[in-house]
Amino acid sequence: MLKLENCTMRTDEFALHADLSISQGTRVAVIGPSGAGKTTLIEAIAGFRDLTSGRIRWQGQDLGDLPPGQRPIAMLFQDGNLFAHLTAAQNVALGLHPRRRLSKEERAQVEDALTRVGLSGMGGRKPAALSGGQQSRVALARVLVQRRDILLLDEPFAALGPALKAEMLDLVAALVAETGTTLLMVSHDPADARRIADQTVLVLDGHALPPQSTTEVLDNPPDALRDYLGTAG
Amino acid sequence: MAERAQPLSPLPGISAALLVAALIVGTLVAVLVRAEPGRGLGVGDLAALRFTLIQAMLSAGLSVAIAIPVARALARRRFAGRAALIALLGAPFILPVIVAIMALLQVFGRAGWLNDVLFWVGLPGVQIYGLHGVVLAHVFFNLPLATRLILQAWQEVPAERFRLAAQLGVNGWAMFRLIELPMLARVVPGALAVVFAICLSSFAVALTLGGGPRATTVELAIFQAFRYDFDLTRAAMLSGLQLILTSIAALIALRLSRADGMGDGLDRSLRRWDARGPMARVCDTIWIALAGAFLMLPLTALIFKGVTSIVSLPMAVWSAALTSVLVAVASTTVLLCMAVPMAAALATRHGRWIEVAGILGLAASPLVIGTGLFLVLRPVSDPSNWALPVTALVNAVMALPFALRILSPAARDTALRYGRLGCALNMGGAPFFWRVFVPRLRPQIAFSAGLGAALSIGDLGVITLFATSDQATLPLQMYRLMGAYQMEAAAGAALLLLSLSMGAFWILDRGGRWHAEA
C-alpha cells in the first residue's frame, strides 16, 4: 500500500494537498487540467520534491528521508530517459548497477529484458540510432531490470504518435501485470487512462483526490474536470 | 522549483577552488609581507607604471579601431576561405608569444622584409624595439581577438533588422547609424577593456621587444628587480602594484564584456542587402586583405626561415623541447584535475564559490605568483629545484579561467538534462561523474586540455624567474638563442615550438571529438 498521509506540497505559485492510499499492484492514472499539479504529485512521490508537510509511506515504511535512487520506485520522465552516449544495453544495465561492471548472469538479464520489450539484438545501438518508440522500449527494459515496487510515468510517451503510444501503454500494462508492480501514470488524455488504468486519481483545485474507478469518473466527471475534458467524457 | 536532488557532488570542486584561492592569495600574502610600504615607488617604478598603462591603452585602442572595419567586412562579405580566415583569428590565442615575436622580426625587424623594401625604395629603415614594437606585437595578438568579439556582436544582430532596413532602402551611413553604431556602442567598451587587461600583464613581449628605462612594463620590472638586482623587496612591491592593476582591469573587463570570443557560429554569414556598391566592396576587400596579410606574412616568413634550420638544431633545443612537453603534460593534468571537478560544482547550487576562484585566476599574474612561490620556497629549499613543477602549476592556474568558461555551459546542460535520471538510478557521486558527466563533457574537456597544453608549451613567464642556466623550456631556450643572436637556430626552434603547441592542441581537441555523440 502506498499512503500519502496529509501531504502538502507548496511552491511559490500554488499548493497541492493529498491524503490518499493506493493498494499494491493497481494501475492508477493521474488526471487533471494542466498546471493542476499532476507532475508535482509524481515528483514528490519520486523524491524530487520536498513535502512541506505530511508523510509518504510504502508498506508502512516512511520514504521521506530516502533520496530518489533509494526509494522502491522507478520513474520515466517526459524526456531524457536515456543517456545519449551509452548503448541501449549500457542504459539498461544502469538499472542493475551504476557502479561496477556486470557479471555474466547480469548481462544475460539485460539481454532478456531487451528481448522482452522487443529489442533483441539491438543492445549495441546508441539512442540516436533508435526510433522514438524503440527508445521508450529501452527505458522500459531498464524499468524491468530495476525490479522496483512502484513505476511512475510522467507522460514519457507524449511525443509518440497515437498508435505507437497505445502500443507502448499496452506493453507497460503487460509488464506491470507480470511483475505485480504498482503503476502511477500522469496523463492529459482520458483515452490513456481508459486503456490501461483501472483507477484514477483526479488532481483538481489544489487537491489530489483518492483513487476512484476510471470508468465511473470519466463517464460522470465532476464539473471542473468536465470543463477540462471539454465533453461529457 | 524545490529541486533538491543532485547527482553531482560539489565537494571535490570546492576543494580544488579553495586550493587555487589559497595558492593565489597565499603567494600574494607572502609578497605583501615582504614588501616594505615605507619605501614607496622609485622613479623607475613610476616609469614602468606609466609605460604599462600607455602601451596597454595604445594596444587596446589600435586593436579595436582596426578590428571594427575588419569585422564589418567579414560580417557582410562571403568569399572562399572566409571560414578558414575566421578560424585563423582564433589561433593567436594559443600561438606562443615568443614565436609571434620571432615571426614579427622576420617582417619588421632590422633585417626584415619591411626594411629591405624601404632600403630598396631609398627610405630610412624602422626600428622594432621600444614602444612601437611592443604595441605592434600586442596588436598582432589582440586584433584577431577584438575582431572575433566584434564579429560575434555583428552576427548577433537579428537578421530581421537587416531585412527591415533593406525593405526601407537603408544603406551606407544610415545603416551604420541605425543598426551598427548602437551595436558597436555595446560591444566596443568590453573589447577595449579585455585587450587592455591582457596587455597590462604583458611580460614576454616587453622582455624581448621592450626593456630599458623607457620600455619596461611592471611585469618586466618585477623580473628585473628579481633577476638582475635580486631586490626581493622591490619585486614584492612591484608585484603588489601589478596585482592592483590587474584586479581593477579584470573587474572592469568582466563587467563590460559579455562574450568571450570563443563562441561557435562565427562562420555563419548574415544575408545582407546593403553595401553592394563598388566603393564598399573595394574597402571591405582591402581591410580583409590587409588584416590577413598582417597576420599571415610574419608567420609565413618564419616558417620559410625556420624550415631550413630545423634539421640542424643543437641538441640543447631538442632537450628543451622534451622538457616543455613534460611540463605541458603535468600542467594539463593538473588543469583537468582542478577544472573538471570545479565545473561539476559550478553546475550545482554551490557554484558561486567556484566563480570567485575563477575570477581570482583572471586577476592573478604569473610573475606575482612566481615571486610569491619563490619567497615561500626559499627558506625550505633551493627554488631552482622547483623551476619546472612551479612552471607547470602556474601554467595550469593561468589556463583555469578559460577552461572553466569552456566547461561550465556543458556542465550545466548535463546536470539539467541528466540530473534527475541520474538520481532516479541512484548514480549519485562517483558513478554519475565518471559514467555521465565526464563522457558528456569529453569534447569540452579535450578542448580545454588542448588549450592548456598549448599555452603551457608556449609559455615564457615564471620559468624565467626560477631557471638556472642549465635548465630550460623550449621558449626559454629560444629566448636565449635570440639573446645570443643565433637567429637561424632561433627560427628553427620557433618553428619547432609552433608545431609542438599547435600539434598538442590539434591532437587533444581532435581526440575529444572522435566518436563524440550529440
Chain B interface test: which of A16, A41, A45, A48 (most B C-beta within 10 Å) = A48
CA distance B498 to B163: 44
**CB-CB neighbors (< 8 A) of B2 in chain A:** 11, 49-50
| Segment A66-74 mean pLDDT | 89
Write out the three cell numbers for B298. Answer: 610574419
Identify the H or E element spanning A10: strand A2-10
What is the per-residue pLDDT for A65? 83
What average pLDDT does this structure show over A3-13? 89
Residue B461: alpha-carbon gap to chain centroid: 13
Amino acid (1-letter code) at residue B499: S
The answer to whether the Cβ–Cβ distance between A47 and B432 falls below 8 Å is no
Please give the pLDDT value at position A50.
87
Q: Tens-of-pLDDT digits for all 518 residues of chain B? A: 334 567 888 888 888 988 998 898 888 888 888 776 666 678 888 899 999 999 999 999 999 999 999 998 998 888 888 888 888 888 888 899 999 999 999 999 888 888 888 888 888 878 888 898 999 999 999 999 999 989 988 888 777 777 777 777 677 777 778 888 888 988 899 899 989 988 998 899 999 998 777 889 999 998 998 888 888 788 888 888 888 888 888 888 877 765 444 444 455 555 566 666 778 888 889 999 999 999 999 999 999 999 988 888 899 999 999 999 999 999 999 999 999 999 999 888 777 777 777 777 777 788 888 888 988 888 888 888 889 999 999 999 999 988 998 898 899 899 988 998 998 898 888 889 999 999 999 999 999 999 999 999 999 988 998 888 888 999 999 999 999 989 889 999 999 999 999 999 999 988 877 655 54
Interatomic CA distance for residues B359 and B354, integer angstroms: 9
Nearest chain B residue to A12 by CA: give it.
B1
Banded model confidence at residue A230, pLDDT cuts 50, 70, 90: confident
Contact A17, A8 (CB under 8 A): yes
Distance between CA A180 and CA B211 in Å, rounded?
82
- pLDDT for A92 equals 94
Which of the 8 DSSP states describes residue A159? T
Q: If you compute the radius of gyration of chain B from its CA atoms, what whole number of angstroms results?
A: 24
- A69 and B423 in contact by Cβ < 8 A? yes
pLDDT, position B275: 63
Closest residue in chain B to residue A100, using alpha carbons only: B431
Residue A143 CB-half CA count within 13 A: 32
Q: B230 burial class (0-12, 13-18, 19+ CB within 10 angstroms)? A: exposed
What's the average model confidence in pLDDT over A13-30? 92
List, in sequence order, the alpha helices (H) in B168-277: 172-175, 181-200, 204-209, 218-227, 232-256
Residue of B423, B438, B445 to mutate for A, most A C-beta atoms under 10 A: B423
Q: Report pLDDT for B262.
A: 45
How many Å apart are CA B500 and CA B189, to the nearest integer? 35
Of A49, A84, A95, the CB nearest to B425: A95
Considering only alpha carbons, which residue of chain A is nearest residue B428? A69
Between helices B232-256 and B218-227, what is the axis angle to 10°? 160
pLDDT at A113 over 90: yes
Q: How many Cα atoms are found within 13 Å in the side-chain-facing hemisphere of A157? A: 26
How many C-beta atoms surround the C-beta of residue B242 within 10 A?
Answer: 26
**Best residue of B416, B425, B514 to probe chain A, by most A CBs closer than 10 Å:** B425
- pLDDT for residue A143 is more than 80: yes
Map out the domains of chain B with their CATH numbers: 1-33+312-518 (1.10.3720.10), 42-302 (1.10.3720.10)
Determine the length of chain B: 518
* Lowest-confidence segment of A27-41, A163-177, B158-172 by average pLDDT: B158-172
Residue B36: partners with Cβ closer than 8 Å, 6 or more residues away: B233, B237
Q: At what angle do helices A132-146 and A104-116 cross, to 10 degrees?
A: 130
ipTM summary value? 0.83
Helix, strand or coil, per DSSP, at residue A222: coil
Asked if A99 lies within 8 A of B3 by C-beta distance, the reply is no
Say whether A69 and B427 touch across the interface (CB within 8 A). yes
Where residue B322 falls (left for φ over 0; alpha for ψ -120 to 50; beta otherwise) is alpha
d(CA B493, CA B239): 31
- Looking at per-residue pLDDT, the higher value among B105 and A227 belongs to B105
Q: What is the pLDDT of residue A181?
A: 94
